């Protein structure tokens, strides 16, 4: 199981990378951390003519806090998200999620930009970015553009990136003080891809939810922001309310049926996660108990 | 086949080579340097047998192209053994019979040492979690967790 | 019988400074810990080339054309060889054994010739200067197929409408065995309760971390083939390779150094390995084949894949009156060579109910062909099926009559004082310890406290379960396994012990090492039997040019059979040495002994002469010895048990786990094993064998599954989709022992390699059902995935 032959170019700058991209077009693949690309190459599921290695571009690295936005360079590694104090303080959802991504040796090389550009529907970070309403900063030879997470993920391994473009950074609005996050995924083994998962951001207003963004993954061809939360915002939360939201959620989902999980299981897990999330962010464990019944 | 000239250090020794782009770090250290202690188990990043250190951090060498390691400091099980860095961990594995066929062992030791450098007193569940990407078919893991736990405690006593 | 946490050795073996019964660290660990092992995948020889196989994409298809022209022109390519070309070098084989009456299979070639019968079957070999270049060229080989109907569902494989995979065989039934003992119909008719259920066992595989690896080197000058291979049975490989390459056995040497895991995966003769031997001969140079992980999943033997209907008759007083099973297993497209693919079903018939007293037992087993990869003997062959069926039925019966699972076992397990005795299938038990083992297990796990905790947590909506699984285990097999069926697979083993000129000892054994500790226990036994310190003993194994002839390491035979041969050879050498010592010391041999590397006076312990000094005299100054004394500093002994065909062992396991009834996830909290392997040579090695075996059983219980689609495509042939047990999900495992030595050997050791795997899945399944008992649910299918559990609970 050896990778097919390809050429390799190490980009000297973002401009150089963009120039290489426009020269090679679809024949080229960006190599960032390589933790999704290399398995595909070794299994000969991908056969690019040229790899453009952006791994040494320091301008794509780093986590910056400015006003109400956290800018995360595309080359920020999963391991960095786990250890960064800025992330812990500002975006705890990403820290929670990073702990679930694969294993330490993979987190040491895998990058947030590579992960998001790969757009695996079972991956944790795309859903987090959707929950956090992040913007993708995309560089092309024509300049820079920004795409919201909800528009960035287009399908299985499909994004809004054009062949000649590069994901340079992610701008994440800092959640309001007092906001709460929830992250859980159903995996058979630690570090596996999720059967279904949820990344959520909530604003708790007394006993009520001021806002609730439930971003599911491994439930569709891209992360899914539940519309059913409208039933739960600004109202007194009861088991009945949650049941209504569940039914609504069920109606809006069309999950795939595959080896990892059946569609029915994914629906079941999604409903369960809604319950558990609301119970968690409101600090009302009795709601989750009711859900089990 | 075009090749790329690289220079790196492997276990402290300078190495330079012309390598094809597709050559991964595991095959490079094994086939070109004869450092066969780095084992190849799955070649798609799941089993952990090929774990080694690049610039002080553990990586899957089957998921790292050797051209990506240009200019880096690579350390393999042979290096960690000869430097004595993990002599106590190796002794604990031996005393506890925390290996049978030995094929997972280099990667397991690399990963365990990574944990012990980051966390002085890990709980058993933390040890299991940190090792959760390293497959062992022989031991059932219990003895490995024991050996890592004992090493952590012994290092704490010494420090 | 000795029962203790730390098993002690037998007094007969308890010579001064004995290593038997001690947890001596294995001598080969330092090498492995430094990454300085020598696995076949590490081996490089001059002029060595690499083979990559073009493998069938289809489960069943006719090969209409093969075009290798483009591939031959690719960089680095040395040769491209088709199945038809290779058939001139390697003759075909049929995987049958005469004692499995009626077993049939079709001739199998090293590579497919005109038809492929499973997805992954090798069709064309591409040889190049590197594996990467061989794979590049393999992609350029064009094979045209005409797809044929694929037989994939074992339930319909025997239907008249289903085409026979091998038309010459007439149908898809490879083997059937029926057994009827006692008065089964009467027992079922008269019993208070009858429970009937179908058990489903998923197909899984061994996933050795080092894939199968071979380097075959044909030296045309010597006319000799050296096969470097990670194998459990070097002499078997020697015999088979010679036979099918048209060579005399002495023209084949098999060398086996370190092996990255075996578990039965590496005890067979695989078509692609045979192809590699043939390619080396054809091309007159070393050829290396290392299966990659995808090839491993598609071609390493699979195992299990049984659907077994089971019935149990029980009276309300707890008395089990009868067992009946009807087992169906799908073995893929050929019976594996040379051990055949009928052994597992045969074992299931042999073992079901074997730990219980009822004489009434009826069984049918049918073994059918499918267009899938072959199944064959993987760790604990048949045991997990038999144990899960038996213990699943016993638990269901207990539940039916409202009896505690412990109590029904107390009432029905064969009494510890009932031996020797035989099972309804004629298995002869020398001495087992079911009740002592059960008692010890209950103490270790604090059964009553766990039951109380279970009840308390149930009130909080937390569902935990306890599962028990007692079992019998086949070890130390004699010729009854294979030899009587005509296979040239040795059931005896030999050990040669040699005192060297500096007073150290070299020992050659025909058992092999794949991590179990063969080298360690051999050194322990030889050191103890001879009276030297273990650091003076070097063990050589895995080389047909060097070691005595023997079976190797499989079916839990190395310690019990190879160990006894080691003991007897050491004793013989001790006698030889003492004869020389007596001559030197002018004493009588019977008044001397060897201890701590010296000939001593056994009564006073006085050191009379160091072995190094004795060796110096023997090898360099034999002129000083009395006339007529010819020292023999080498001794060889062989051993095979003769009285019993197998040394049965027994044991019992318990699982304590939690089922999240909302998600169907199972968390393993604790696992206990008590087993009785007779004399324990190295307690730590036995415990770790058990633990490793348990986790393989836990993998089968919860995770592992080769998932084929209806077209015979293996859909999860990678380690991301085929789930092996990893550290985070596995529990700590407590191991205890009861010691009932076999009297077949002086050593008294039986095997311990299967015990863990034999009972783990049954214990887990019983625990899951125990946890789910408030829901009135019972599940008899493994792996117990969240999907299976949620479905059973009606949540999806």
Domains of chain A: 7-53 (3.30.43.10), 58-173 (3.30.465.10), 180-292 (3.30.390.50)
- pLDDT above 70: residue C251: yes
Closest CA to B58 of B67, B68, B48: B48
CA distance B154 to B86: 13
Q: Express as a percent the part of chain B with pLDDT over 70.
A: 99
Question: How does residue B61 score in pLDDT terms, banded at 50, 70 and 90?
Answer: very high
What is residue C681's predicted lDDT score, i.e. its pLDDT?
96
CA distance C53 to C75: 17
Domains of chain C plus CATH, in order, are 2-37+492-639 (3.30.365.10), 40-148+211-259+265-299 (3.90.1170.50), 378-476+646-792 (3.30.365.10)
Tens-digit pLDDT profile for residues B83-98:
999 999 999 999 999 9
Using a CB–CB cutoff of 8 Å, tell me whether C76 touches chain B.
no
C261-282 mean pLDDT: 97
Closest CA to C82 of C103, C43, C53: C53
DSSP sequence for A74-124: TT-BHHHHHH-HHHHHH-HHHHHHHTTSS-HHHHTT-BHHHHHHHT-TT-H
Nearest CB among C36, C260, C733 relative to B103 is that of C260
Nearest CB among A4, A188, A265 relative to C136 is that of A4
Tens-digit pLDDT profile for residues C17-65:
899 999 999 999 999 999 999 999 999 999 999 999 999 999 999 999 9
CB contact under 8 A, B63 and A1: no
Using a CB–CB cutoff of 8 Å, tell me whether B20 touches chain A.
yes
Tens-digit pLDDT profile for residues C329-365:
999 999 999 999 999 999 999 999 999 999 999 999 9
Q: Express as a percent the part of chain C with pLDDT over 70.
A: 98
Question: How does residue C659 score in pLDDT terms, banded at 50, 70 and 90?
Answer: very high
CB contact under 8 A, B100 and C733: no
- pLDDT above 90: residue C324: yes
C33: chain B residues, CB-CB within 8 Å: 81, 90, 93-94, 99, 102, 105, 109
Complete edge-to-edge strand list for the sheet that includes strand A208-217: A179-186, A196-205, A208-217, A224-225
What is residue B1's predicted lDDT score, i.e. its pLDDT?
58
What is residue C500's predicted lDDT score, i.e. its pLDDT?
97
CA distance B147 to B104: 15
Question: How does residue C13 score in pLDDT terms, banded at 50, 70 and 90?
Answer: low
Nearest chain A alpha carbon to B45: A39
Tens-digit pLDDT profile for residues C67-126:
999 999 999 999 999 999 999 999 999 999 999 999 999 999 999 999 999 999 999 999
How wide is the angle at C-alpha A211 spanned by C-alphas A208 and A217, nearest 5°?
120
Nearest chain A alpha carbon to B53: A105
Tens-digit pLDDT profile for residues A118-135:
999 999 999 999 999 999
Cα–Cα separations (whole angstroms), residue C140 to A53, B2, B20, C62, C298: 28, 21, 20, 20, 21
- pLDDT above 70: residue A22: yes
Contacts of C710 (CB under 8 A, 6+ apart): C152, C153
Nearest CB among B1, B101, B124 relative to C261 is that of B101
- pLDDT above 50: residue C640: yes
Cis before residue C338, ω within 30 degrees of 0? yes
Contact between residue C305 and residue C375 where contact means Cβ atoms under 8 Å apart: yes
Closest CA to C229 of C280, C175, C185, C288: C288
CA distance B32 to C301: 32
Nearest chain C alpha carbon to A47: C136
Buried b (16+ CB within 10 A) or exposed e, C553-565: bbbbbbbbbbbbb
Nearest chain B alpha carbon to A5: B22
- Mutate: best of A104, A114, A189, partner B, most B CBs <10 A: A104
Burial class (CB in 10 A: 0-12, 13-18, 19+), B57: middle
- Mutate: best of A2, A218, A289, partner C, most C CBs <10 A: A2
How wide is the angle at C-alpha B37 spanned by C-alphas B34 and B38, nearest 5°?
95
Contact between residue C793 and residue C775 where contact means Cβ atoms under 8 Å apart: yes
CB contact under 8 A, C787 and A190: no
Nearest chain C alpha carbon to A2: C132
Using a CB–CB cutoff of 8 Å, tell me whether A103 touches chain C.
no
CB contact under 8 A, C33 and B81: yes
Tens-digit pLDDT profile for residues C497-522:
999 999 999 999 999 999 999 999 99
CB contact under 8 A, B67 and A8: yes
CA distance C481 to C100: 10
- pLDDT above 60: residue A106: yes
Does C184 or A288 have the greater pLDDT score?
A: C184
Contact between residue C288 and residue C235 where contact means Cβ atoms under 8 Å apart: no
What is residue C12's predicted lDDT score, i.e. its pLDDT?
47
- pLDDT above 60: residue C7: no
Strand pairing report for C634-639 and C493-499 = antiparallel
Contact between residue B68 and residue B59 where contact means Cβ atoms under 8 Å apart: no
Contact between residue A20 and residue A43 where contact means Cβ atoms under 8 Å apart: no
E strands in B61-129 = 73-75
Crossing angle of the two packed helices B142-158 and C683-702, in degrees rounded to 10? 120
Tens-digit pLDDT profile for residues B98-114:
999 999 999 999 999 99
Rounded to a whole number of angstroms, the distance between the first and last alpha carbons of chain B is: 52
CB contact under 8 A, B63 and A2: no
C584-592 mean pLDDT: 96
Tens-digit pLDDT profile for residues A146-196:
999 999 999 999 999 999 999 999 999 999 988 999 999 999 999 999 999
CB contact under 8 A, A1 and C135: yes
Burial class (CB in 10 A: 0-12, 13-18, 19+), A127: buried
- pLDDT above 90: residue C4: no
Closest CA to B18 of B35, B32, B34, B5: B5
Contacts of B158 (CB under 8 A, 6+ apart): none
CB contact under 8 A, B44 and A1: yes
Tokens matching residue B61: 């060498």
Could you tell me where the DSSP H helices lie in C375-494?
383-401, 405-412, 434-445, 447-458
- Mutate: best of A194, A253, A265, A276, partner C, most C CBs <10 A: A265
Cα–Cα separations (whole angstroms), residue A76 to A56, A84, A109, B36, C311: 12, 10, 9, 32, 60
Nearest chain B alpha carbon to A45: B44
A221-225 mean pLDDT: 98
- Mutate: best of B137, B139, B150, partner C, most C CBs <10 A: B137
Contact between residue A232 and residue A203 where contact means Cβ atoms under 8 Å apart: no
Closest CA to C591 of C11, C579, C609: C579
Tens-digit pLDDT profile for residues C406-446:
999 999 999 999 999 999 999 999 999 999 999 999 999 99
Nearest CB among B43, B99, B109 relative to C29 is that of B99
CA within 13 Å, CB half, A15: 0
Nearest chain B alpha carbon to A37: B63
Cis before residue A212, ω within 30 degrees of 0? no
CB pairs under 8 A between B and C: 179
- pLDDT above 70: residue C2: no
Tokens matching residue A89: 């303080």
Contact between residue C356 and residue C254 where contact means Cβ atoms under 8 Å apart: no
Burial class (CB in 10 A: 0-12, 13-18, 19+), A264: middle
Q: Can you tell me whether residue C354 is helix, strand or coil?
A: coil
Contacts of C763 (CB under 8 A, 6+ apart): C391, C467, C468, C469, C653, C654, C655, C671
Chain B neighbours (≥3 Cβ pairs under 8 A) are A, C
- Mutate: best of B2, B4, B65, partner A, most A CBs <10 A: B65
Tens-digit pLDDT profile for residues C121-170:
999 999 999 999 999 999 999 999 999 999 999 999 999 999 999 999 99
What is residue A177's predicted lDDT score, i.e. its pLDDT?
86
Contacts of B84 (CB under 8 A, 6+ apart): none
H or E segment and range at residue B6: strand B3-10
- pLDDT above 70: residue C9: no
Closest CA to C136 of C146, C126, C145: C126
Q: Does domain B3-80 have CATH number 3.10.20.30?
A: yes
What is residue A178's predicted lDDT score, i.e. its pLDDT?
85
Using a CB–CB cutoff of 8 Å, tell me whether B39 touches chain A.
no
Domain ranges of chain B: 3-80, 86-158
CA distance C236 to C544: 10
CA C737 to chain centre: 21
CB contact under 8 A, A7 and B59: no
Nearest chain C alpha carbon to B24: C132
What is residue C480's predicted lDDT score, i.e. its pLDDT?
85
CB contact under 8 A, B97 and C724: no
How many other C-beta atoms are found inside a 10 Å radius of the C-beta of residue C697? 35
C490-496 mean pLDDT: 96
Burial class (CB in 10 A: 0-12, 13-18, 19+), B141: buried
* Cα R_g (chain B), whole angstroms: 16
B86-158: CATH number = 1.10.150.120
Nearest CB among C135, C662, C790 relative to A292 is that of C662
What is residue A293's predicted lDDT score, i.e. its pLDDT?
47
- ipTM > 0.95, yes or no: yes
Using a CB–CB cutoff of 8 Å, tell me whether C29 touches chain B.
yes
Question: How does residue A290 score in pLDDT terms, banded at 50, 70 and 90?
Answer: low
* pLDDT averaged over every residue in chain C: 96
Tokens matching residue C591: 């008044």
Closest CA to C783 of C724, C726, C700, C667: C700
CB pairs under 8 A between A and C: 66
CA distance C247 to C775: 64
What is residue C8's predicted lDDT score, i.e. its pLDDT?
41
Crossing angle of the two packed helices B87-95 and B142-158, in degrees rounded to 10? 140
What is residue A288's predicted lDDT score, i.e. its pLDDT?
64
CB contact under 8 A, A53 and B68: yes
Q: Indicate if B86-158 has the same CATH topology as B3-80.
A: no
CB contact under 8 A, B139 and C696: no
Burial class (CB in 10 A: 0-12, 13-18, 19+), C224: middle
């Amino acid at each position: 199981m050896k990778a097919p032959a390809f050429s390799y170019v190490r980009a000297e700058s973002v401009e150089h990378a963009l120039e290489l991209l426009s020269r090679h077009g679809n024949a080229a693949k960006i190599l960032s951390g390589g933790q999704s690309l290399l398995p595909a190459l070794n299994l000969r599921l991908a056969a690019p003519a040229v790899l453009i290695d952006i791994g040494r571009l320091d301008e794509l690295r780093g986590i910056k806090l400015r006003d109400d936005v956290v800018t995360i360079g595309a080359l920020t590694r999963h391991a960095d998200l786990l250890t960064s104090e800025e992330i812990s303080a500002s975006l705890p959802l990403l820290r929670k999620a990073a702990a679930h991504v694969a294993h330490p040796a993979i987190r040491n090389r895998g990058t947030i930009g590579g992960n998001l550009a790969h757009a695996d529907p079972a991956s944790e970070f795309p859903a987090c970015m959707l929950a956090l309403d992040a913007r993708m900063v995309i560089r092309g030879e024509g300049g820079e553009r920004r795409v919201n997470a909800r528009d960035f993920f287009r399908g299985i391994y499909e994004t809004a990136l054009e062949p000649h473009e590069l994901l340079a950074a992610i701008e994440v609005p800092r959640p309001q003080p007092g906001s709460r996050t929830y992250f859980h995924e159903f995996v058979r083994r630690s570090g596996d891809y999720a059967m279904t998962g949820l990344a959520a951001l909530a604003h708790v207003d007394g006993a009520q939810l001021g806002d609730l963004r439930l971003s599911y993954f491994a439930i569709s061809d891209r992360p899914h922001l539940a519309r059913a939360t409208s039933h739960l915002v600004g109202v007194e939360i009861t088991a009945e309310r949650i049941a209504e939201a569940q039914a609504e959620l069920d109606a809006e989902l069309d999950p795939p049926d595959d080896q990892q999980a059946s569609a029915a299981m994914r629906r079941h897990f999604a409903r369960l996660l809604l319950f558990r999330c609301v119970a968690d962010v409101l600090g009302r464990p009795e709601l989750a108990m009711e859900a089990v019944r | 086949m075009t090749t790329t000239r690289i220079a790196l250090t492997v276990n402290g020794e300078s190495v330079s080579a012309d390598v094809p782009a597709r050559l991964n770090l595991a095959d490079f250290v094994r086939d070109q340097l004869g450092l066969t202690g780095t084992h190849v188990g799955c070649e798609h990043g799941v089993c952990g047998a090929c774990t080694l250190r690049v610039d002080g951090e553990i990586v899957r060498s089957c998921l790292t192209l050797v051209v990506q390691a240009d200019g880096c400091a690579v350390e393999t099980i042979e290096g960690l053994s000869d430097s004595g860095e993990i002599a106590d961990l190796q002794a604990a594995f031996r005393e506890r019979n925390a290996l049978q066929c030995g094929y997972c062992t280099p990667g397991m030791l690399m990963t365990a040492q990574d944990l012990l450098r980051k966390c002085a007193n890990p709980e058993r569940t933390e040890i299991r979690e940190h090792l959760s990407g390293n497959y062992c078919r022989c031991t059932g893991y219990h003895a490995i967790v024991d050996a890592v736990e004992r090493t952590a405690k012994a290092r704490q006593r010494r420090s | 019988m000795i029962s203790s946490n730390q098993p002690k050795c037998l007094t007969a073996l308890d010579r001064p400074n004995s290593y038997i019964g001690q947890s001596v660290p294995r001598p080969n660990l330092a090498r492995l810990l430094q990454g300085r092992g020598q696995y076949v995948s590490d081996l490089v020889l001059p002029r060595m080339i690499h083979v990559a196989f073009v493998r069938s994409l289809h489960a069943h298809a006719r090969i209409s054309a093969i075009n290798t022209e483009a591939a031959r022109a690719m960089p680095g390519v040395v040769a491209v060889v088709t199945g038809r070309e290779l058939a001139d070098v390697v003759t075909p084989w049929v995987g049958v054994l005469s004692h499995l009456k009626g077993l049939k299979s079709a001739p199998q070639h090293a590579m497919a010739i005109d038809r492929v019968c499973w997805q992954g079957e090798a069709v064309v070999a591409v040889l190049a200067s590197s594996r990467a270049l061989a794979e590049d060229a393999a992609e350029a080989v064009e094979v045209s197929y005409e797809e044929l109907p694929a037989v994939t569902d074992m339930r319909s494989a025997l239907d008249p409408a289903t085409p026979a995979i091998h038309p010459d065989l007439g149908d898809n039934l490879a083997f059937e065995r029926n057994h009827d003992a006692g008065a089964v119909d009467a027992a079922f008719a008269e019993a208070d309760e009858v429970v009937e259920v179908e058990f489903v066992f998923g197909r899984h595989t061994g996933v050795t971390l080092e894939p199968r690896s071979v380097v075959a080197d044909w030296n045309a000058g010597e006319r000799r083939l050296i096969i470097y291979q990670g194998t459990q049975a070097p002499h078997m490989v020697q015999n088979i390779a010679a036979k099918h390459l048209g060579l005399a056995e002495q023209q084949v040497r098999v060398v086996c150094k370190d092996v990255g895991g075996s578990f039965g995966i590496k005890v067979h003769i695989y078509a692609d390995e045979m192809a590699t031997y043939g390619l080396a001969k054809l091309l007159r140079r070393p050829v290396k084949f290392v299966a990659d992980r995808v090839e491993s999943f598609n071609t390493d033997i699979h195992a299990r894949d049984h659907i077994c209907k089971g019935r149990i008759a029980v009276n309300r007083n707890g008395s089990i009156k009868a067992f009946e099973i009807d087992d169906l297993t799908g073995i893929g497209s050929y019976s594996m060579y040379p051990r055949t693919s009928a052994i597992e079903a045969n074992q299931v018939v042999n073992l079901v109910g074997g730990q219980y007293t009822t004489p009434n037992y009826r069984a049918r087993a049918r073994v059918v062909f499918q267009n899938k990869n072959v199944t064959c003997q993987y760790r604990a062959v048949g045991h997990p099926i038999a144990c899960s069926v038996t213990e699943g039925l016993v638990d269901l019966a207990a539940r039916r009559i409202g009896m505690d699972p412990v109590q029904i076992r107390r009432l029905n397990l064969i009494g510890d004082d009932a031996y020797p005795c035989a099972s309804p299938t004629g298995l002869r038990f020398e001495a087992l310890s079911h009740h002592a083992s059960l008692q010890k297990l209950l103490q270790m796990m604090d059964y009553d406290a766990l039951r109380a905790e279970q009840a308390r947590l149930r009130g909080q909506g937390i569902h935990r379960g306890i599962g028990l699984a007692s079992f019998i285990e086949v070890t130390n097999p004699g010729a009854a396994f294979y030899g009587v069926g005509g296979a040239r697979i040795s059931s005896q083993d030999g050990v040669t012990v040699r005192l060297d000129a500096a007073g150290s000892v070299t020992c050659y054994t025909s058992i092999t090492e794949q991590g179990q500790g063969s080298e360690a226990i051999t050194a322990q036994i030889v050191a103890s039997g001879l009276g030297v310190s273990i650091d003076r003993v070097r063990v050589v194994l895995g080389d047909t040019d060097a070691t005595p002839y023997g079976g190797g390491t499989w079916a839990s035979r190395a310690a019990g059979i190879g160990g006894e041969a080691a003991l007897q050879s050491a004793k013989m050498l001790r006698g030889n040495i003492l004869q020389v010592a007596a001559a030197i010391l002018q004493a009588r041999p019977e008044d001397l002994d060897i201890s701590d590397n010296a000939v001593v006076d056994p009564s006073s312990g006085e050191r009379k002469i160091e072995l190094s000094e004795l060796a110096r005299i023997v090898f360099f100054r034999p002129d000083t010895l009395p006339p007529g004394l010819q020292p023999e500093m080498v001794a060889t002994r062989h051993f095979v048990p003769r009285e019993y065909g197998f040394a049965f062992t027994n044991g019992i396991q318990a699982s304590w786990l939690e089922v999240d009834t909302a998600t169907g996830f199972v968390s393993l909290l604790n696992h206990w094993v008590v087993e009785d392997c007779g004399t324990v040579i190295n307690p730590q090695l036995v415990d770790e064998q058990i633990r490793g075996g348990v986790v393989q059983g836990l993998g089968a219980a919860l995770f592992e599954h080769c998932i084929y689609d209806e077209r015979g495509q293996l859909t999860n042939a990678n380690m991301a989709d085929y789930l092996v047990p990893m550290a985070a999900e596995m529990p700590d495992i407590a191991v205890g022992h009861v010691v009932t030595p076999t009297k077949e050997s002086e050593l008294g050791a039986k095997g311990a390699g299967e015990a863990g795997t034999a009972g783990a899945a049954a214990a887990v399944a019983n625990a899951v059902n125990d946890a789910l008992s408030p829901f009135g649910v019972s599940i008899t299918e493994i792996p117990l995935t969240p999907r299976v559990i949620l479905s059973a609970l009606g949540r999806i």
